[in-house]
Amino acid sequence: MAPIAAASADTFPKLLIRNANLYGARPAMRQKDLGIWQTWTWEQVLDLVRAYAIGLHRLGLKRGETIAIVGANRPKLYWSVMAAQMLGAVPVPVYADAVADELAFVLAHAEVRFAAVEDQEQIDKIMSVMDRLPKLEQMVYDERRGLRDYDHSHLHPIDDVIAEGRKALADDPSVAAWIDTEIAAGKGSDPSIILYTSGTTGTSKGVVLTGERSIKAATDTVIFDKLNENDVALAYLPLAWVGDHYLNYAQGLVAGFCMACPENSDTAMQDLREIGPSFYFAPPRTLELLLTRVMIRMEDAGFLKRKLFHYFIGVARKYGERILNGQPVPLTGRLLYWLGNILVYGPLKNVLGFSRVRVAYTAGEAIGPDLFNFYRSIGLNLKQLYGQTEAFLYVTAQPDGEIYSDTVGPACPNVDIRIADNGEVQFKSPGMFSGYFKDDEKTAEAMTSDGYVKTGDAGYFDEKTGHLKIIDRAKDVGKLNDGTFFPPKYIENKLKFYPNIREVVAYGDKQDFVAVMINIDLTAVGSWAERNNVVYASYQELAGHPLVYDMVEKHVAEVNRSLAQDKVMAGAQIKRFLILHKELDADDGELTRTQKVRRGFIADRYGPLVKALYDGSKQADISTEVTFEDARKGTISARVKIRDMQTEPAAAPMGKAA
Amino acid sequence: MRAPSGPDVSVGDVLLSVENVSLSFGGVNAVSDVSFDIRKGEIRAIIGPNGAGKTSMLNIINGFYQPQQGRITFKGQTRSKMRPHDAAHGGIARTFQNVALFRGMTALDNIMAGRTLKMHRNFFWQLLRYGPAMTEEVEHRRRVEEIIDFLKIQEIRRIPVGRLPYGLQKRVELGRALAMEPDLLLLDEPMAGMNLEEKEDMSRFVLDVNDHYGTTIALIEHDMGVVMDLSDRVVVLDHGIKIADGTPDEIKGNQGVIDAYLGVAH
């Protein structure tokens, strides 16, 4: 089997050569261009990347230097990563939607002399912060449009760079030998890539990963999930995110599978359907969005279709999970499920692009049990993993057949996990990082003296299953004034499992009670408003609507009821809530680029609201500055209402000896 | 931001000239004795208060209205009478103030419709989709896909335009006009009813069309910021009469124009 051979290659360029020898004529990459899927085989990719690397070298890129990669998932940007690695240079991918300021920080910190960018938009963004990037000399770009009148002394189309490399190869036979020595000279212990963390906690840090460790980690998971050269993945997640680099780039090179790039970011859903990947990853948020869309469309469907859908989804909920896990199911159940698969689940999966998915993962945040079970019940082998950039993704993953919605699975092969005294999860893994770029102090902070990485997450091993359970960031777990345990995320997630609620921020640490700020989901609540003749002109108006408040109040009451079931959590019931007048947005710094709430920042920004939650007022005025997509600023003011909640009495002991 | 092009700095040869053109509907003089020219490769704006005769002027250029007096010279050929059909054949394409697309057809098919004049195989061969007709179809489809790529509307390719938001419909309409590979593109209020972001996108597309395809563009627009940023030269109409003609800077300082927009104390 292929993955075994991978162990012999300790850098990605060496793996690329191996793949070109082993799977030469098989597809390595696809992208839809002008409406038609274009394919590059492993041989062609190797050929292109070699020429590209030579071209980059001629522009001056040298071993050990860094090169920024800015843009969406495009083959040419992935080739930029490969070509840089061939030369021993270190690629530094940056989130394509980062605002100029964030971009400047990363580019300056990484000391890039080169940048490979997607198009004019990214070039303009970099140009706007050029005074902060004295080291940046050359930029290469994919999309020529709009760039004709730019000063081309330091701008080069990637195509031309590749052509230049090809010409050099043709003109001088020694060039080919030179690039081969360069590839061979790459050591497994050299930095292979620097991935900047999204900055959930303060400014982002550059995580340095080496080739050898990356390949080792990817080899383990490729074997774990039995991935091979016949698999297909759609690379639609941000290039700069560890998940994309691991799941698609590293695993793709190790297993030799084909990575397809969407036509553009807006067509990803259609492309998913056309490509029909066999390996799929989606954050819980995306899965939720998909389900919400399906449900909304079903509400609008005809009577018969609606009945059929709901009946068979009921069947799936009853038997689907057990069939997927290979557990015994009565014959009638099997027959009904088989019929449901023909009439509902099959077509539904086809529409969502899941027909061929063999292994699907979700991670990044807790996933609602209903949501998780829904996908599994219709036959999608969705599993959870837990990981972080510092581990080069995987720390734990659920093996087939051992799936629970509230755990993240046992440790991955060759990963060692322990729980520290303060409840923090710590690990040692084959893929773990070698340090933060230019920041030994932070590196030392993140490691224990015996070489374990501190995740900063609080968790424990479930007694029943032996799987890891993550409850919250270790430093976020607080206490109410009466000493009750308060994990904010646990409460937030319980609320977020309602489709109407998009985002929640819970407060309670060092307070008398728990209070929350809620963001409604415009799609779900908007559709509800349409069906119930609720008239609104803006997000702000809808968010403040009394009927919306009534609806959310019901959700909060349900969450309180469920919290009351748990003796430890009963004291952390929600006493007051408000609905925010604007959507929390990464452009305003309220969310990270990976869409996690930045609680502390929000508490400062919405100070008057937080104060009002605790001083008993019925409403509060707030005025906040917002950043539009084009970086201009404006102000939104609103009067936000606050509602009080009844709390449930803590559940009486069940009277069972447990 | 664009190179200044006053009367002495010509962008190119005159592509279209309008000489002493008058048009009236009954007693209303929509356009009276207007002359101006459009040079190859420039972006020419026609502005003026409501009812100034801007759309009438476009309709005259387009051959939709016949002027009662005056001459129009397009690509060296002078004419007094022309039908829209001839204009299209001659290389003039346009978009409309109120979007005029085939609402039930997809964005792709709408843009494909713009290729009609470029198709040479007859109905029979196209029906069979065989041989030369197929080759031709593939070629046209490629051109259409280039335009879809250019306008970044890949995600709506297969969606009936009636279901699209207004801003995107406008973009599809621009796509259909581009599919004709026109020499002169007439845009009737391309930014009307758009929000700031859509306007910026559309402005960029207009500049890109001009830059990338070298298409000469005449546009009517009410957003002065857009007009001053985009155009090389501006002609101002008021009550059917030309009151000014020149570069954006000249127009900004023209007292007649300011009076026409703000009104004068009598």
Sketch the domain layout of chain A as residue ranges.
Answer: 2-278, 285-412+459-472, 476-644
Element (H, E) at A279: strand A279-281
Provide the CATH number for the domain around residue B56: 3.40.50.300
Instruction: Name the architecture of domain A2-278.
Output: 3-Layer(aba) Sandwich (3.40)
Same domain assignment for residues B139 and B243:
no
The one-letter code for the residue type at B230 is L
For residue A251, what pLDDT is reported? 95
**Nearest beta carbon to residue B212 from set A34, A145, A263:** A145
Same fold: A2-278 with A476-644: no
To the nearest whole Å, the CA of B202 is away from the closest chain A CA by: 14
Q: What backbone phi and psi angles, to 5 degrees, belong to A395?
A: -115, -50
Q: Which residue in A has a C-alpha nearest to residue B148's C-alpha?
A: A34
Residue A17 in tokens: 């050569």
Structure tokens at B240: 């059917």
User: Is A629 part of the contact surface with chain B (CB cutoff 8 Å)?
Assistant: yes
- What is the C-alpha separation between A272 and A119, in angstroms, rounded? 24
Q: How far is CA A555 from CA A421, A488, A515, A558, A582, in A?
A: 35, 17, 14, 5, 20
CA B40 to CA A24: how far, in whole Å?
51
Instruction: Looking at the complex, report in whole angstroms how far the Cα of residue A515 sits from the nearest Cα belonging to chain B.
Output: 37
Residue B2 has pLDDT above 60, yes or no: no
The whole-number pLDDT of residue A5 equals 52
- Compute the mean pLDDT over every residue in chain B, rounded to the nearest whole number: 86
Strands across the sheet containing A191-196: A191-196, A206-210, A435-436
Q: What is the pLDDT of residue B11?
A: 58
Q: A365 Cβ partners below 8 Å, 6+ apart?
A: A283, A284, A285, A493, A596
Task: List the single residue in B with minimal CA-CA distance to A630.
Answer: B197
Domain co-membership, B155 together with B196: no
Structural domain contains residue B111 = yes
Give the residue from A565, A548, A539, A570 showing the smallest Cα distance to A643.
Answer: A548
Chain A residues closer than 8 Å to B149 by CB: 33-34
Q: How many domains does chain B fold into?
A: 2
Asked if A149 has any chain B CB less than 8 Å from its own CB, the reply is: yes
According to the model, what pLDDT value does residue B194 have?
86
Q: How crowded is residue B64: how many other Cβ atoms within 10 Å of its Cβ?
A: 15
Q: How far apart are CA A142 and CA B234, in angstroms?
A: 35
Q: How far is A180 from chain B (nearest CA, A)?
A: 37
In the predicted model, is pLDDT for residue B231 greater than 50?
yes
Question: Among the ranges A7-16, A231-240, B255-264, which has the highest mean pLDDT value?
Answer: A231-240
Query: Is residue B71 predicted with pLDDT exceeding 80?
Result: yes
Instruction: Band the pLDDT of A463: cuts 50, 70, 90.
Output: confident
Residues B28 and B78 in one domain: yes
Q: Give A564 or A352, the one with higher predicted confidence.
A: A352
Per-residue pLDDT band at A566 (split at 50, 70, 90): low
Mean pLDDT (whole number) for A5-21:
85
How many alpha carbons lie under 13 Å from residue A15 in its C-beta half-sphere?
Answer: 32
Which one of B157, B197, B212 has the shortest CB-CB distance to A630? B197
Mean pLDDT across A562-588: 84
Length of chain B: 266
pLDDT at A2 over 50: no
Q: How confident is the model at residue B79 (pLDDT cuts 50, 70, 90)?
A: confident
Cβ atoms of A333 and A318 within 8 Å: the answer is yes
Using a pLDDT cut of 70, give the percent of chain A over it.
Answer: 97
| Residue B100: inside a domain | no
What would the DSSP string read from start to end of A518-565?
EEE-HHHHHHHHHHTT---SSHHHHHT-HHHHHHHHHHHHHHHHHHHH
For residue B104, what are the contacts with CB-CB under 8 A and spacing of at least 6?
B160, B162
Whether residue B83 is found in the same domain as residue B187: yes
Measuring CA to CA, which residue among B161, B111, B170 is closest to residue B141?
A: B111
What are the DSSP calls for A456-474, one per residue?
EEEEEE-TTT--EEEEEET
Chain A environment of B148 (Cβ under 8 Å): 34-35
Domain that holds residue B118: 105-181
- Encoding tokens for residue A139? 């930029």
Same domain, B139 and B220: no
Instruction: Tell me, yes or no, whether B121 and B55 share the same domain.
Output: no
Q: Is A146 in contact with B208 (Cβ distance < 8 A)?
A: yes
In a domain, B98, yes or no: no
Q: What percent of chain A has pLDDT over 90?
A: 59
Identify all chain B residues contacting A146, using CB atoms and an 8 Å cutoff: 204, 208, 211-212
Domain stops at, among B133, B155, B181: B181
Which residue from A minimizes the CA distance to B156?
A267
Q: A105 by DSSP, 3-state: which?
A: helix
> Token pair of A352, please?
């969502």
What is the number of CB-based contacts under 8 A between chain A and chain B?
A: 38
Cα three-residue angle A634-A640-A646, rounded to 5 degrees? 150
In this structure, is residue B71 part of a structural domain?
yes
Task: Give the end of a domain, one of B159, B181, B203.
Answer: B181
pLDDT of residue A115: 96
* Residue A634 neighbours by CB under 8 Å, 6+ apart: A625, A626, A628
Residue type for position B75: K
Residue of A nearest to B146 (CA): A34
pLDDT of residue A89: 96
State whether residue A633 sits within 8 Å of chain B by CB: no
- Whether B30 and B59 map to the same domain: the answer is yes
Position B80 scores a pLDDT of 67
Q: What is the pLDDT of residue B128?
A: 76
Cα torsion through A119, A125, A128, A129, rounded to 10: -120
CB contact under 8 A, B155 and A149: no
Which has the closest alpha carbon to B34: B236, B248, B183, B193? Answer: B236
Query: What residue type is assigned to position A143 of the chain?
Result: E
Mark yes or no for CB contact B145/A34 under 8 Å. Answer: yes
pLDDT at B9: 38
Mean pLDDT score, B59-78: 87
pLDDT at B8 > cutoff 60? no
CB-based burial, A397-407: b 16+ in 10 Å, e otherwise: bbeeeebbbeb
With CA atoms as reference, report the closest residue to A646 among A570, A578, A568, A556. A556
Yes or no, beta carbons of A146 and B150 under 8 Å apart: no
**Residue B3: band (very low, low, confident or very high) from pLDDT cuts 50, 70, 90:** very low
Q: Are the CB atoms for A553 and A579 separated by under 8 Å?
A: no
pLDDT of residue A212: 93
- CB-based contacts of A450, cutoff 8 Å, min separation 6: none
Q: State residue B6's pLDDT score.
A: 38
On whether any CB of chain A is under 8 Å from the CB of B8, the answer is: no
Domain boundary among B181, B213, B233: B181
- Is residue B192 within 8 A of residue B203, CB to CB? The reply is no
Hunting for tokens 């009307």 — which residue is that?
A: B192
Q: How confident is the model at residue A622, as a pLDDT? A: 87
Whether B64 has its CB under 8 Å from any CB of chain A: the answer is no
Apex A277 CA angle, B147 and A241, nearest 5: 80
Q: What is the mean pLDDT of residues A25-49?
A: 95
Chain A partners within 8 Å of B145 (Cβ): 34-36
Dihedral sign for Cα atoms in the order A585, A591, A596, A599: negative
Query: A347 touching B, CB under 8 A?
Result: no
- Say if residue A470's pLDDT is above 60: yes
Which residue among B145, B152, B212 sits closest to A264, beta carbon to beta carbon?
B152
Model confidence at A656: pLDDT above 60: no
Q: Is residue A629 predicted with pLDDT exceeding 80? A: no
What is the assigned CATH class of domain A476-644?
alpha beta
Average pLDDT of chain A, as a whole number: 89
Is residue B110, in this structure, part of any structural domain at all?
yes
pTM for this prediction: 0.81
One domain for residues B141 and B244: no
Give chain B positions within 8 Å (CB) of A351. Answer: none
Is-contact B218 B46, C-beta < 8 A?
Answer: yes
Cβ A115 vs Cβ A135: under 8 Å: no
More confident residue, A587 or A375: A375
- Is B97 within the bounds of a domain? no
Give CA separation, B156 vs A214, A298, B149, B166, B172, in Å: 39, 22, 11, 13, 9
Residue B155 has its nearest CB partner, among A34, A36, A267, at: A267
The answer on B120 and B78 residing in a single domain is: no
- Supply the pLDDT for residue A657: 34
Shared domain for B84 and B114, answered yes or no, is: no
CB A575 within 8 A of CB A615: no
d(CA B216, CA B185): 6
Cβ of residue A604 closer than 8 Å to a chain B Cβ: no
CB pair distance less than 8 Å for A630 and B200: yes
CB contact at 8 A, B199 and B171: no
**pLDDT, tens only, A593-619:** 777 788 888 888 899 999 999 998 898
- Cβ contact B154–A263 (<8 Å): yes
Q: Confirm if A397 and A220 have CB atoms less than 8 A apart.
A: no
Residue predicted with more confidence, A84 or B84 = A84
- Residue A652's pLDDT is what? 52
Which residues of chain B lie closer than 8 angstroms to A148, CB-CB?
A: 211-212
pLDDT of B4 above 80 = no
Angstrom distance (rounded) from CA B101 to CA B99: 6
Domain membership flag for residue B112: yes
Check CB contact under 8 Å for B208 and A145: yes
> What strands, in cross-sheet order, belong to the sheet with A574-579?
A501-507, A514-520, A574-579, A633-644, A619-627
Bridge partners of residue A517, in order along the sequence: A505, A578
* Closest alpha carbon to A152 in A59, A54, A38, A223: A59
| ipTM score over 0.85, yes or no | no
A574 touches A491 (CB < 8 A)? yes
Strand pairing report for B216-220 and B184-188? parallel
Q: Is the pLDDT of residue B144 over 80?
A: yes
Least confident among A164-178, A230-244, A466-480, B18-32: A466-480
What distance in Å separates residue B157's CA from the closest CA in chain A?
9
Mean pLDDT over B65-70 rounds to 88
Each residue of A202-258: pLDDT tens digit? 678 999 999 999 999 999 999 999 999 999 999 999 999 999 999 999 999 999 999
Give the relative orientation of helices A42-59 and A173-185 as an angle to the nearest 10 degrees.
100
Q: State the Cα torsion A24-A27-A30-A36 to the nearest 10°.
A: 110
Class of residue B159 by CB neighbours under 10 A (exposed 0-12, middle 13-18, buried 19+): middle
- A57's tokens: 């070298």
SS3 assignment, position B4: coil
How far is A193 from A243, CA to CA, in rounded Å? 13
Residue of B nearest to A271 (CA): B155
B96 within a domain of the structure (yes/no): no
| B202 vs B43: CA distance, rounded Å | 14
Query: Taking CB atoms and an 8 Å limit, are B154 and A148 in contact across chains?
Result: no
| pLDDT interval class at A484 (50, 70, 90) | confident
Which positions in chain B touch A270 (Cβ < 8 Å)? Answer: 155, 158
Confidence of residue B5 (pLDDT cuts 50, 70, 90): very low
Contacts of B146 in chain A (CB under 8 A): 34
Q: Tell me, yes or no, whether B77 and B186 share the same domain.
A: yes
Confidence of residue B266 (pLDDT cuts 50, 70, 90): low
Contacts of B205 in chain A (CB under 8 A): none
Q: Which of A59-63, A566-570, B133-137 has the lowest mean pLDDT?
A: A566-570
* pLDDT at A653 > cutoff 50: no
Q: What is the mean pLDDT of residues A572-586?
A: 90
Rounded to an integer, the average pLDDT of B181-189 is: 92
DSSP H stretches of helix in A546-628: 546-565, 599-605, 607-615
For residue A642, which phi and psi values (nearest 5 degrees)?
-125, 135
With CA atoms as reference, report the closest residue to A273 among A254, A295, A290, A288: A290
Decide: helix, strand or coil at residue B154. Answer: helix
Which residues in chain A touch residue B152, judged by CB atoms under 8 angstroms apart?
264
CA distance B23 to chain A (A): 40
* B122 and B65 both lie in a single domain: no
Q: Quick one: pLDDT at residue A199? A: 62
* Inter-chain residue contact B204 with A146, CB threshold 8 Å: yes
Question: Given an 8 Å threshold on Cβ–Cβ distance, is A146 in contact with B149?
Answer: no
Residues in chain B within 8 Å Cβ distance of A35: 141, 145, 148, 154, 157
What single string gives the DSSP state of each residue in B74-112?
A: ETTEEES---HHHHHHHTEEEE-SS----TTSBHHHHHH
**Over residues A397-421, mean pLDDT:** 88
A35 and B141 in contact by Cβ < 8 A?
yes
- Using the Cβ of B198 and the Cβ atoms of chain A, whether some distance falls under 8 Å is answered with no
A270, B155: Cβ pair inside 8 Å?
yes
Q: Is B145 on the interface with A (CB under 8 A)?
A: yes
Q: Give the DSSP H/E element, type plus range, for residue B238.
A: strand B233-238
Rounded Cα gap, residues B217 and B87, in angstroms: 15
